[in-house]
A and B are shown apart, each in its own frame.
Chain A
Amino acid sequence: MLADRSTRVIVQGITGKEGSFHTKLMLEYGTRIVAGVTPGKGGSQVHGVRVYDTVREAIGEVGRVDASVVFVPAKNAHDAVLESIENGVRLIVVITEGIPLHEELRMVSYARSRSVTIVGPNTPGLIVPGETKLGIMPANYYKPGVVGIMSRSGTLSYEVAWQLSRSGLGVSVAVGIGGDPVTGLDFVEVYDKLLKDPRTKYVVLVGEIGGDYEERFAKYYSGLSEKKPVVAYIAGRTAPREKRMGHAGAIISMGLGDYESKVKALQESGIPVARRVSEIPTVIQSIASKQYF
Chain B
Amino acid sequence: MRLLEYEAKQVFREYGIKTPEGVLCRSPVEVKEAVARLGESVIKAQVPVGGRGLAGGVRFTSDPEEAVRIASELFERGVRGYRVDAVLVEKKVCVNRELYLSVTVDRSAKSIVYLASRLGGVEIEELAKKKPEEVLKINLDPFIGYSPFVARTIASFIGLPPSAWGEFERIAVGLYRIMIDYDAELVEINPLVVDCGGSLVALDAKILVDDNSLYRHPALAGLKSRELTEEERSAREKGFTYVSLDGYIGVIGNGAGLTMATMDLIEYYGGKPANFLDVWSGGGASRDRVKEAVKLLLENPRVKVVLVNIFGGMTRCDEVAMGVRQALEEAPVKKPIVVRLMGTNQEEGARILREVGLDVYEDVDEAVRKAVELARG
Chain A contact residues, CB within 8 Å of chain B: 21, 25, 74-75, 97-102, 105-106, 108-110, 112-113, 136-138, 141, 151-159, 162, 179, 181-182, 186, 206, 208-209, 211-213, 216, 233, 235-240, 242-250, 253-256, 261, 275-278
Judge whether B143 and A109 touch: CB under 8 Å.
Answer: yes
Docked Cα-Cα span, A237 to B263, in Å, equals 8
Judge whether B261 and A256 touch: CB under 8 Å.
Answer: no
Judge whether A102 and B180 touch: CB under 8 Å.
Answer: yes
Judge whether B107 and A158 touch: CB under 8 Å.
Answer: no
Q: Is B157 part of the contact surface with A, judged by Cβ < 8 Å?
A: no
Judge whether A211 and B183 touch: CB under 8 Å.
Answer: no
- State which residues 83-126 of B face A: CB under 8 Å: 104-105, 107-108, 110-112, 123-126
Docked Cα-Cα span, A148 to B337, in Å, equals 35
Q: Which A residues touch B263, using CB under 8 A?
A: 238-239
Docked Cα-Cα span, A158 to B255, in Å, equals 10
Given contacts A154-B255, A254-B104, 16 further A-B contacts (CB under 8 A): A21-B314, A25-B314, A75-B215, A97-B281, A100-B212, A100-B216, A101-B183, A110-B142, A155-B254, A156-B257, A206-B257, A238-B260, A239-B260, A239-B263, A245-B260, A253-B186
Judge whether A101 and B258 touch: CB under 8 Å.
Answer: no
Judge whether B105 and A182 touch: CB under 8 Å.
Answer: yes
Stretch from B11-19, B265-273, B298-306, B321-329 that touches the partner? B265-273
Rounded to whole Å, the gap between the CB of A274 and the closest CB of chain B is: 11
Q: Which A residues touch B265, using CB under 8 A?
A: 276
Q: Which B residues touch A261, using CB under 8 A?
A: 129
Judge whether A159 and B364 touch: CB under 8 Å.
Answer: yes
Docked Cα-Cα span, A255 to B125, in Å, equals 5
Given contacts A182-B105, A237-B267, A276-B268, contact A105 B111 (CB under 8 A): yes
Q: Is B23 part of the contact surface with A, judged by Cβ < 8 Å?
A: no
Q: Which B residues touch A154, using CB under 8 A?
A: 255-258, 280
Which residue of B125, B208, B243 has the most chain A CB atoms within 10 A of its CB atom?
A: B125
Judge whether B342 and A162 touch: CB under 8 Å.
Answer: yes
Rounded to whole Å, the gap between the CB of A277 and the closest CB of chain B is: 6
Rounded to whole Å, the gap between the CB of A23 and the closest CB of chain B is: 13
Q: Is B365 part of the contact surface with A, judged by Cβ < 8 Å?
A: yes
Closest A residue by C-beta to B179: A102
Q: Is B250 part of the contact surface with A, judged by Cβ < 8 Å?
A: no
Interface residues on B, range: 35 or more
Judge whether B107 and A141 touch: CB under 8 Å.
Answer: no
Q: Which A residues touch B10, using CB under 8 A?
A: none
Q: Which A residues touch B222, using CB under 8 A?
A: none
Docked Cα-Cα span, A26 to B314, in Å, equals 13
Judge whether A109 and B264 touch: CB under 8 Å.
Answer: no
Q: Is B241 part of the contact surface with A, judged by Cβ < 8 Å?
A: yes
Judge whether B273 and A109 touch: CB under 8 Å.
Answer: no
Judge whether B255 and A155 touch: CB under 8 Å.
Answer: yes
Number of cross-chain contacts by CB at 8 Å: 171
Judge whether B108 and A157 touch: CB under 8 Å.
Answer: no
Rounded to whole Å, the gap between the CB of B247 and the closest CB of chain A is: 8
Judge whether A109 and B142 touch: CB under 8 Å.
Answer: yes
Q: Which A residues touch B267, using CB under 8 A?
A: 237-238
Given contacts A238-B264, A243-B243, A276-B268, contact A99 B212 (CB under 8 A): yes
Judge whether B257 and A255 touch: CB under 8 Å.
Answer: no
Docked Cα-Cα span, A102 to B276, in Å, equals 27
Judge whether A105 and B243 touch: CB under 8 Å.
Answer: no
Docked Cα-Cα span, A240 to B129, in Å, equals 21
Judge whether B211 and A248 touch: CB under 8 Å.
Answer: yes
List, sorted by A's number, 17 A–B pairs whose CB atoms are closer than 8 Å: A101-B212, A137-B313, A154-B255, A154-B280, A155-B280, A159-B311, A159-B364, A179-B257, A181-B105, A182-B105, A235-B261, A238-B273, A239-B243, A245-B276, A246-B278, A250-B260, A255-B124
Q: Which A residues touch B276, using CB under 8 A?
A: 239, 245-246
Closest B residue by C-beta to A239: B260
Q: Which B residues touch A181, using CB under 8 A?
A: 105, 107, 185
Q: Is B164 part of the contact surface with A, judged by Cβ < 8 Å?
A: no
Rounded to whole Å, the gap between the CB of B1 and the closest CB of chain A is: 10
Docked Cα-Cα span, A253 to B206, in Å, equals 12
Rounded to whole Å, the gap between the CB of A247 and the closest CB of chain B is: 5
Rounded to whole Å, the gap between the CB of A265 and the closest CB of chain B is: 11
Docked Cα-Cα span, A207 to B216, in Å, equals 30
Q: Is B259 part of the contact surface with A, judged by Cβ < 8 Å?
A: yes
Given contacts A97-B281, A109-B142, A208-B257, contact A242 B264 (CB under 8 A): no
Q: Which B residues touch A110, using CB under 8 A?
A: 142
- State which residues 117-169 of B face A: CB under 8 Å: 123-126, 129, 142-143
Q: Is B213 part of the contact surface with A, judged by Cβ < 8 Å?
A: yes
Judge whether B261 and A102 touch: CB under 8 Å.
Answer: no
B260: which of A109, A138, A236 is its contact (CB, 8 Å)? A236
A247: which of B185, B216, B256, B363 is its contact (CB, 8 Å)? B256
Q: Which A residues touch B278, using CB under 8 A?
A: 246
